[in-house]
Amino acid sequence: MSVRPVENSDTVNLVCALLVRYPEIASIRSMPGEGTVCFTFAIGARMDRATQRATAEEIEAHVNGFLALSRDGGDLRVECESERAHSFVHVTRDLVTFSKDELGMLTALFAQRFGEALVRNPVPDEHPDEDPAAQDELVECAIEALADPAQSKNLVGFREEKHVLVYFLKSRKKAKAPARR
């Protein structure tokens, strides 16, 4: 009996389905070695530090409230960064307690909070599955695949125009500093 590697085309297809289902997500970064997943949302406006703090606090309050209702604890980190004309909000969650329902709540929060300023990627011309139940099942499978303990490589998925790109990254081991003489 051979063990099938987790890093395969099925995982890539599931991450693609996740990004297609939620056009509000700019990128996904799964770091199984750390047990985390990071969702990045792009805002078409520059946020000052006060707005960044308020945004992070609002997201933390919503996610922590959601986790309290579902009786799951969980690790959460929210980071904001701004450039000239855009801002990026990175929401990092642990893979053990993260769920499809939380992702739905999170994307709805961003859509409500930022409205037209939230950068949404266009839906591909050939949208394979219009059936919401099938899409929800794919999202559930994608989250399970990302949380699979057998997954060993970091994964990054993002959109470029109407295409979804997914890369597996080799995990970097920290190199020892050279000895000083």
Q: What range does the domain containing 118 cover? A: 9-169
In a domain, 174, yes or no: no
Task: Report pTM.
Answer: 0.80
Q: 142, 59 in Cβ contact below 8 A?
A: no
Instruction: Look at residue 155 and give its three-state secondary structure.
Output: strand
pLDDT digits (tens, 9 = 90+) for 15-67: 888 888 889 999 999 888 888 999 999 999 999 999 999 999 999 999 999 88
**Maximum CA pair distance of the chain?**
66
19 occurs within a structural domain: yes
Both tokens assigned to 104: 């739905």
Structural domain contains residue 176: no
Residue 84 lies in a domain: yes
The answer to whether the CB of 118 falls within 8 A of the CB of 111 is: yes
**Structural domain includes residue 178:** no
The verdict on residue 181 lying in a domain is: no
pLDDT digits 0-9 by tens, 119-159: 998 765 555 556 767 777 888 888 888 877 677 678 788 87
Confirm whether 90 is domain-assigned: yes
* Number of domains the chain is built from: 1
Q: How far apart are CA 1 and CA 49, in angstroms?
A: 55
**pLDDT for 122:** 73
Is 149 within the bounds of a domain? yes
- Which one has a higher pLDDT value, 161 or 63? 63
